[in-house]
Amino acid sequence: MEQLKIYRKKELCELFGISSTTLYRRVREGVFPRPIQVSENVVGWLSADVEKWFNDLVKNQRPE
């Protein structure tokens, strides 16, 4: 089984240089993966979802 990583909000904001408001706005708009409920008060994003989103973003911005 592939090792899973869960990104927390702070990590993603630092990684992409965005605020938490922007992160949640992009989730709400459907342009960023939805988080999963890790525990009652904790959400996170699966690394596989984030990496796929990022790879698709880069792929769509590069001319063929």
E strand or H helix at 35: none
Counted domains in the chain: 1
- What integer pLDDT is reported at residue 62 of this predicted model? 73
- Residue 48 is part of which domain span? 6-61
pLDDT (average), residues 38-57: 94
Question: If DSSP codes are grouped into helix, strand and coil, which group holds residue 11?
Answer: helix
**How many other C-beta atoms are found inside a 10 Å radius of the C-beta of residue 35?**
20
- What integer pLDDT is reported at residue 31 of this predicted model? 94
Dihedral of CA atoms 15, 11, 24, 56 in degrees, nearest 10, equals 50
- What integer pLDDT is reported at residue 3 of this predicted model? 74
- What integer pLDDT is reported at residue 24 of this predicted model? 97
Band of the pLDDT at 40, cuts 50, 70, 90?
very high
Residue 43 domain-assigned (yes or no): yes
CATH number of the domain residue 36 falls in: 1.10.10
Residue 20 domain-assigned (yes or no): yes
Q: Evaluate if residue 64 carries a pLDDT over 70.
A: no
Residue 37 domain-assigned (yes or no): yes
- What integer pLDDT is reported at residue 28 of this predicted model? 97
